[in-house]
A and B are shown apart, each in its own frame.
Chain A
Amino acid sequence: MPERFRIGDVVRTSQADPPHHTRLPRYARGATGTVAGLLGRHPLPDRRARGLPAEPEPVYEVRFPASELFGTGDHTVTISLWESYLRVVRQTAREATT
């Protein structure tokens, strides 16, 4: 399975408050950021922590403006996030694949 996202894509994090372990930090829920880097593939901790099968999936560096996360601040926060935590908002232009 190829990476769904590329550097420059705008993504939104999940809003869910799961009743199990997750590594999507609470302060970054439901937030919009930009993919800034790719960090390889790793099993989703939400499944692994429950002893469920977890195929490695892409992990991304996603950069958020502080104002998006906290409503204030002029810095950015870059968070390592599994693909399952992310939904696409706006993709960068893709070359046609034929």
Chain B
Amino acid sequence: MSADHAGPSAAVAARVRRLEALLEQRGLIDSQDLERRLDAFLARATPANGARVVARAWLDDGFRERLLADANAALPEVGLSMGGGLQEQQLRVVENTAERHNVVVCTLCSCYPLALLGPSPAWYKSEAYRSRVVREPRAVLRDFGFVLEPEVQIDVWDASAETRYMVLPRRPPGTGNLDEPALAGLVTRNGLIGVAPI
């Protein structure tokens, strides 16, 4: 039942702590090493990573095509990867166009490409966002202050399996003279989820 998956995380957290304690007792892991690894992963996990990917894609059509075809294979070109967590995650980048806008959600829990977007915002994990955005995305975007032209088709991506999604937003007009770092500076986490324009 999907409710189990979304359900109270306290029981799961308790189980994880118990497992951790047992692994430590038996000398299989070292709690300090675990802390260090978690800290190192979180220190690297920031939306600045996603922003760099987007800026490169805006400037380099070849990179953009490789990114949309196989994001995991393209990320090393900008010095990033989907590894670093417990297992390498599969990433899919979906591109906004004049005709089509993408929004990302995980209705069963809160799956999200942490390494590229940083820790997920509380609203992303909320029942309200998860249940509403699949049903009425236009109204949800409006709540974020983002009014899409009625002719733009919306596709909502529900990350219900092992793949994580990131939106490639449209490059804003009037940015032709900006370099890669300046373009990256325009990109927001909400833009990478698809709930804000850039």
The residues of A with any CB-CB pair to B shorter than 8 Å are: 18-28, 37, 39-40, 42, 59, 63, 66, 69-70, 73-82
- A63 and B2 contact, CB distance less than 8 A: no
- A78 and B155 contact, CB distance less than 8 A: yes
Which residues on the B side are within 8 Å of A75 (C-beta)? Answer: 137-138, 153-156
A-B contact count (CB 8 A): 77
B99 is an interface residue with CB less than 8 A from chain A = no
Which B residues from 1 to 20 make CB contacts under 8 A with A? 1-2, 4-5
Per-position 1/0 for B114-142, Cβ under 8 A of A: 00000000000000000000111110000
Which residues on the A side are within 8 Å of B158 (C-beta)? Answer: 25, 28, 77-80
Given A23-B108, A66-B135, A70-B135, does the pair A78, B5 have CB atoms closer than 8 Å? no
Given A23-B108, A76-B156, A78-B156, does the pair A39, B161 have CB atoms closer than 8 Å? yes
Chain B interface size range: 20 to 34
Which residues on the B side are within 8 Å of A80 (C-beta)? Answer: 158-163
- A27 and B5 contact, CB distance less than 8 A: no
- Residue of A22, A27, A78 contacting most chain B CB atoms (<10 Å): A78
Q: List 11 A-B contacts (CB under 8 A).
A: A19-B1, A21-B1, A37-B92, A39-B161, A42-B161, A42-B162, A59-B161, A76-B153, A77-B156, A80-B160, A81-B160
